[in-house]
Structure 1
Amino acid sequence: MELQKMNGHSRDDGFDGVDALAEHEEFLPHKTGAKKEVHFTDFEGKTSFGMSIFNLSNAIMGSGILGLAFAMSNTGIILFLILLVSIAILSAYSIHLLLKSAGVVGIRAYEQLGNRAFGHPGKILAASVITVHNIGAMSSYLFIVKSELPLVIQAFLGKSENTGEWFLNGNYLIIIVSGCIILPLALMKQLGYLGYTSGFSLSCMVFFLISVIYKKFNILCPLQDQLHNNTNHTHQDCEAKLFTINSQTAYTIPILAFAFVCHPEVLPIYTELRQATKKRMQTVANISILAMFIMYLLTALFGYLTFYTAVESELLHTYSLVDPLDVLVLCVRLAVLVAVTLTVPVVLFPIRRALLQILFPDKPFSWAKHFAIALCLIFLVNLLVIFVPSIRDIFGLIGATSAPSLIFILPGIFYIRIVPEDQEPWKSRPKIQATCFAALGFVFMIMSLSFIITDWATGEVRSGGGH
């Protein structure tokens, strides 16, 4: 949304006055007894502070949580903790750069920030990165539905193995789930309406965390032949490693980066936040990141301390190998399925917004376009999930490319270009920090892609085989 004329300034001048408003006043002022003046948008945010936290937390939390115990097994506890803290802090700083850039020009759309910084190519770049990343995220969520829902149904029916019925076929099940649950929720007009489903989704993941902690004290190590028939588990397998480096360590940073990406959802949530100010939205982001940091750390730690070197790249799969008919694990699977299913519509909103910014930038809201884009996206993601062989490949590739772009590169370069030089010179500390921040993103991207491509080229057998 473009900056409205305000106090005699157009969107091309008066940065100081606008920035002051961004820092000290509300984008969408609440009732003061006088007629309300809309500053940056004609949309009045109505989503509460708590619901905004639920939505952003739900956008952060997703399928990435299932890969964190595997990541810890390939880094060691201390190195994993250092990386997790670093990514969390950098994510919060990245959101600060986004909000500051949005405050300077009065824009709360990622694609419009790209347009402001680099013109139409910047707009296309931002929209493309958001689309690629969120399609990857949606694919990973539905991949979990594809792999886990048949096992849940199979367990409920008391079957010891998949007997080939259509309702045990994951490909059919994701189509049913997409049509009956995801599509209706994706047709909501505003993201704020999904606050209730986001809260329920988060409660499901809390149950998952509690179960992971409980299972740590009920599954004894060594596991002998329960996990790998040809593996002789020794005492060494049951010792936690503080630091470790191996060929799989290359996937750790992409997995962690993937697990903390919520940046495409930040500005839409900001737009719908009641009494929206930069400080208030930053608080929403900080609380959400802190909550997910705690959940991630505890899940990774207790999952790793349960299986040690035997943990697979999809944690739930490891539990099912121990006891496929365990009632608690069955309930946890169901809870995770509900959580990731309810997250898909939240992730779909920024993609639709990005496509609308590119294809219909000046058109009013249309239910036909709203519905058509959602239907096409869900159809595309279903096709990807049916043909993608491994969830870890999604984590690795998306985490190594679009995640660094959204967390590091784009917020950094947008900030450098958008904040005027008379307000912050090129050699000022904030702009130097933003430059280093963007450069760090390029380093992460190149290193991660290099390690992953090398791993693929060597053809090494990878733990987790296809999950």
Structure 2
Amino acid sequence: MQEHLPTDLKWMTVTLGSLIAIALAWAAWQTIFFHEDGKDAKGGVEGMSEIQLMFNIVKSVVGEGMLSLPAGIAGGTGLLAGSLMTVFFAALMGYTFSLMGRVCHVTGERSHKDCCAKVADPWLAQSMAVVLFVKTIFTCLAFAIVISESFARILRFCGVQGIMATSQAALLLMTFFVLIPLCMQKQLRILSYTSMIGCLGQVWVVFTMQIRYMDGSYIPGGQFYSTLRTQDQPNFTAGVIYWKTTVASFVLLGSLSTAFIAHYNAPKFYSQLQDASPEKFRKVVIGAFSFAMVIYLWIMAVGYLTFGTAAEGLILNNYSEKDMLMTTARFAISFAVVFAFPLGFTGLRDSMMSTFELGQEHFRSVTFGLLSVIICGACSFHDLGLANSLGGAVLGAMITLIFPAVLLFYAGRQSDSDSSEFGNFEPTWAAAAVALAGVVLLVFGSIIVLMKKFFPEALHLPQ
């Protein structure tokens, strides 16, 4: 049998990188030469252009979690098999994301709770609001922990010592000077500019990985090979695997099931799109999720083809600390997480105000109160552990699949709903299929988290 080598797929990584470069060039062209500000029809409030909304969605979807995808491939899944899984999840999650915009259009509402209350029972609407609230708490807490740890390392790299180099001090500094000003913004349009910067930072991370893959700095005899720990050195004992699947493939499935989560902000994204319509929103979502999908495919390919089965859960940890180019990548991902925090926090604040039915007069107090809780939690805890992972698996499946399916079912049954929007097939069979997929992901996600915690040998993972 012919052994596949890491260099055999250079064409694949170059193609994926070229697609991202073309997409960014097109977005820049549209932003510079065809950008027009507009106002919505309800209150004269400026909305987001399609390009601004696309960057906000991409930044909400693509986070630091992309750095764990190469390990999902290395754990026992063929690269091409994993790529097909990624394409499937991108299509499924993009469909349910755009579905929320269509539900908002039909109901005339701007939140999961209000949409559900319009077409179903109030208790179900309240349950959705509570689940969204809990999920976004975990999301923001995870972001805050990453920010605290990343910038503490950056400060120490810059020579800062003592209490100012602790994770708590780093987080407090970032909170006062960056997070508070960003989180106080009511309009997501303003955050689109920081989202653009964050997206560029994430692209830079994968671009630097592409350079190191192409120049061979980490192959045996390469510039940085001898500076790596033994466990971080590339391992291609069995060659590059293309189509293999094992029980450990469920680790990648678990990662992908949460990799495209941004659905808690979908209603707000739709409501703040200029001249919003389901068709216009659908086009933006297709562009955003396609961009995110290519980023995921790119980093999976480059990370795995550079380090093979040695790829760590945080792929940047594989690279040498003496590699200045990869140090810039660590800076970039840290700032990208900072710019992602306000978008996740917006979902948290909106879900809390919806759950407890708070008016806009409480905007400032809710913002400062929630930020205080999140920051205190991140200063006290540095590992969310089993509860966070299990909660993410369960709540993520509910928010991305089960809730949209339920809303589709009820909205399609309403006699006064726009029948041309859903038709007869979608509210029944399509809703059932999406809900079933959500239940399967919920069950498998929970099982995988528990197995990783208590029976890692069953997944062929290190204990």
TM-score when normalising by structure 1: 0.81
Higher helix share: 2
Q: 2:407 is matched with which residue: 414, 426, 434? A: 414
Evaluate the alpha carbon distance shift between residue 220 and residue 111 of structure 1 in structure 2; reply closer, same or farther with a 3 A threshold.
Answer: same
Q: Tell me, what secondary structure is at the counterpart of 1:241?
A: coil
Aligned pairs (5 A) from 1:362-401 = 363=359, 365-366=360-361, 369-390=362-383, 396-401=389-394
Task: Give the 3 Å change call, closer, same or farther, for CA 309–230 of structure 1 in structure 2.
Answer: closer
Name the CA distance, whole Å, in 1 between partners of 2:328 and 2:233. 31
8 Å CA contact 2:254, 2:448 repeated in 1 = no
| 2:301 counterpart residue number | 301
**Distance between the aligned counterparts of 1:70 and 1:327, measured in 2?**
23
Deviations 1:275-327 (A, max 9, x none): 111111111111100111111110111011111111111112222xxx21321
1:261 is paired with a residue of what secondary structure? coil
The two structures, once aligned, show a CA RMSD in angstroms of 3.0
Percentage identity across paired residues of the two chains: 18
Tell me, yes or no, if structure 1 residue 428 matches structure 2 residue 425: yes
CA contact (8 A) 1:186 1:349 kept: yes
- What pairs up with 1:164-175 in 2 under 5 angstroms? 165-175=162-172
Q: Report matched runs for 1:42-441 at 5 Å.
A: 42=43, 44-74=45-75, 75-157=77-159, 165-217=162-214, 218-222=216-220, 227-229=228-230, 235-236=236-237, 239-245=239-245, 248-319=248-319, 323-360=320-357, 363=359, 365-366=360-361, 369-390=362-383, 396-420=389-413, 423=419, 428-441=425-438
Distance 1:110 1:377 in 2: 20
**Equivalent pair of 2:79/2:243 in contact (CA under 8 Å):** yes
What's the offset of the Cα at 1:50? 1.3
Deviations 1:120-155 (A, max 9, x none): 222222222222222222233223223322322222
CA shift in 2, pair 1:232/1:333, >3 Å: closer
Is the 2:201–2:333 Cα contact (8 Å) retained in structure 1?
yes
1:442 equivalent to 2:443? Answer no
Contact 1:404 1:445 survives alignment (8 Å): yes
What letter is aligned with 1:415?
L
Amino acid at match of 1:412: A
| Count of aligned residue pairs for this structure pair | 417
**Structure 2 runs not aligned, ≥5 long:** 1-37
Deviations 1:376-401 (A, max 9, x none): 32233234434555478688435411
Paired residues of 1:201 and 1:342 also in contact (CA < 8 A): yes
How far apart, CA to CA, are the structure 1 residues paired with 2:89 and 2:112?
21
1:178, CA displacement in angstroms? Answer: 2.0
Contact preservation (8 Å) 1:404, 1:441? yes
- Cα-to-partner distance string for 1:151-204 (whole Å, 9 max, x where unaligned): 2222232x9xxxx62222123212221222111110012121111111111111
Distance 1:231 1:123, change over 3 A: closer
TM-score by length of 2: 0.81
Query: Alpha-carbon deviation of 1:353?
Result: 1.2
Contact 1:138 / 1:347 at 8 angstroms: preserved in 2? yes
TM-superposed deviation, 1:233: 7.1
Q: Indicate if the aligned counterparts of 2:213 and 2:302 stay in contact, CA closer than 8 A.
A: yes
- Deviation at residue 417 of structure 1 after TM alignment: 1.0
Aligned-residue offset at 1:269: 1.5
Task: Give the 3-state SS of the residue equivalent to 2:237 in structure 1.
Answer: helix
* Rounded Cα–Cα distance in structure 2 between residues aligned with 1:180 and 1:340: 15
**Contact 1:111 / 1:357 at 8 angstroms: preserved in 2?**
yes
